[in-house]
Amino acid sequence: MSAPAISVRNVGKKYLLSHQPREQYTALRDVLSDGVAAFARRLRHPFAPGERADSVEEFWALQDVSFEIKQGERVGIIGRNGAGKSTLLKILSRITEPSTGSIRIRGKVASLLEVGTGFHPELTGRENIYLNGAILGMRREEIRRKFDEIVQFAEIEKFLDTPVKRYSSGMYVRLAFAVAAHLEPEILVVDEVLAVGDAQFQNKCLGKMEAVGREGRTVLFVSHNMGAINKLCDRAIWLESGQLLESSDTETVVQKYLSSAFLGQSTRQFPVKSDKAAQVLQVRLLNGEHQESTEFGLGEEPFVEVRYLLNHELTGIHVACIVTTVQGVHAFSTADTDTNPKFFEARPAGEYVSWVRLPMKDFNSGIYHVAIGIGIPGVQILDRQEALSFTLHDTGGFATLKEGARRAGLLVFEVPWHLREKP
């Protein structure tokens, strides 16, 4: 029996938060002026206890997380924004040190926290392949060997000697992912990088990731895309406010996550972050009478209302609603530009409210999950929120089998059958 590829023991990560609304880094000017102020205070009140601690607060992004990953296992990490997923990946990829605990890793690790890290706009596609490859930890000889394969995968043969600043964003992303996809580490750590490119390219990437897994490599994968997690991973780890909540087979964890996290809430607000170009502010689930609800009968069609904010004028964006089953299967998605291509034109900054009727008349009973995304299709996701869950209830109609069991399948149709006369 081989030793675990990754073993994480009681890992924690502490950040110090300053309460003064200040930049992340310090300016020497501030340190000096604070020092002078403190000195002056000392002079006036020589016996007062030293200040300092009150303006700084400890924040544990991760706390006491322990788990093991066997060699060749593919593990998904899920959790809400701010649950500590990214911090965990950063520690595993040695970008930052843990504050407590220890991690043992057996084998060569490559981490992909972003596609196209270190790409330089002035350099050509060819030059960037070498540079990015080296940054991701490939040897020069290895890059040379895989060069043609990378170019082919990215579909950029003709633009190999063009500076990447002239690339379309789609080409840029394809090239970036192509380099990353040809890493051959024993352990691969991936953060949400599949959320790029058009649907066709995304499928290609997923396929590549699956192939990596089949070759017996250990994969650690963070994503909001429950379908991808379900498809790729044997096991899932659920983090919540920096702590490990559940670690089990993927289906169980994903199901628990989707149903527990948001069930029973028919409206959700998201805090305003000024650094985002576009963001979802509020999502509501409504029934046919325009009342908030999370419970619907079979054949009923829920309405989703999205309130979103554009911080500046944006062109080519769409607002999409993604519906998944509780097992993480992507059922369907719909975007506001589907029937109205005029929406691709520039949208001025401001707040918008739009709503859509989810065409779920033929869907089987079960728990469904709604995510809202704002982005430039095939290029970039500006904001994506796992918003709400709702239940379609069996109403005892034809979908219920005689024994009271739920009929299998994602969809249910009442279809007449006809008896042909005996020949």
Position among 67, 68, 131, 314 found at the interface with other proteins (CB under 8 A): 131
Total number of residues binding other proteins (CB under 8 A)?
A: 48
Q: How far is the CB of 196 from other proteins (least distance, A)?
A: 15
Question: Residue 59: which residues within 8 A CB-CB, separation 6 or more?
Answer: 14, 15, 16, 17
- Which is closer to other proteins, CB of 186 or CB of 198? 186
3-class DSSP state of 376: strand
State the DSSP H helix or E strand holding residue 133, giving kind and residue range, or none if neither.
helix 125-135
- Residue 398 touching other proteins (CB under 8 A): no
- Which is closer to other proteins, CB of 111 or CB of 334? 111
Q: How far is the CB of 52 from other proteins (least distance, A)?
A: 18
- Residue 100 touching other proteins (CB under 8 A): yes
CA dist 358 and 293 (Å) reads 14
- Which is closer to other proteins, CB of 104 or CB of 312? 104
* 230-249 footprint of other proteins as x/- string (CB under 8 A): --------------------
The end-to-end CA distance of the chain, in Å, is 63
CA dist 155 and 201 (Å) reads 10
The pair of three-digit structure tokens given for residue 410, joined into one six-digit string: 């994602």
- Which is closer to other proteins, CB of 61 or CB of 156? 61
Position among 186, 198, 251, 301 found at the interface with other proteins (CB under 8 A): 186
The pair of three-digit structure tokens given for residue 238, joined into one six-digit string: 């659920």
Q: Please, what is the Cα angle at 217 between 216 and 218, to 5 degrees?
A: 120
Position among 17, 39, 45, 122 found at the interface with other proteins (CB under 8 A): 122
Position among 67, 70, 72, 113 found at the interface with other proteins (CB under 8 A): 113
- Which is closer to other proteins, CB of 90 or CB of 318? 90
The pair of three-digit structure tokens given for residue 216, joined into one six-digit string: 């017996």
- Residue 123 touching other proteins (CB under 8 A): yes
- Residue 97 touching other proteins (CB under 8 A): yes
Q: How far is the CB of 272 from other proteins (least distance, A)?
A: 24
Q: How far is the CB of 35 from other proteins (least distance, A)?
A: 13
CA 189 to chain centre: 14
CA 85 to chain centre: 10
3-class DSSP state of 76: strand
Q: Which parts of 13-52 interact with other proteins (CB under 8 A)? A: 15, 23-29, 31
Q: How far is the CB of 167 from other proteins (least distance, A)?
A: 16
φ/ψ region of 378 (left if φ > 0, alpha if ψ in -120 to 50, else beta) reads: left
Position among 33, 96, 152, 203 found at the interface with other proteins (CB under 8 A): 96
- Which is closer to other proteins, CB of 127 or CB of 305? 127
- Residue 415 touching other proteins (CB under 8 A): no
- Phi (first) and psi of residue 134, to 5 degrees: -65, -40
- Residue 136 touching other proteins (CB under 8 A): yes
- Which is closer to other proteins, CB of 252 or CB of 380? 380
Position among 22, 41, 42, 139 found at the interface with other proteins (CB under 8 A): 139
The one segment of 35-43, 101-109, 259-267, 296-304 that binds other proteins by CB under 8 A: 101-109
- Which is closer to other proteins, CB of 99 or CB of 400? 99
- How many CA atoms lie less than 13 Å away from 251 in the CB half-sphere? 2
CA dist 271 and 261 (Å) reads 17
- Residue 111 touching other proteins (CB under 8 A): yes
3-class DSSP state of 10: strand
Of 362, 374, 293, which Cα lies nearest the Cα of 332?
A: 362
Hey, how many other C-beta atoms are within 10 angstroms of the C-beta on 276?
A: 14
What is the DSSP track for 386-414? EEEEEEEEP-SSTTB-TTSPBPPSSB---
Of 105, 86, 300, 129, which Cα lies nearest the Cα of 186?
A: 105
DSSP-derived secondary structure letter, 12:
E
* 65-94 footprint of other proteins as x/- string (CB under 8 A): -------------------------xxxxx
- Which is closer to other proteins, CB of 99 or CB of 241? 99
Site residues for other proteins per CB under 8 A: 15, 23-29, 31, 90-109, 111, 113-114, 117-118, 120, 122-123, 127, 130-131, 134-137, 139-140, 184, 186
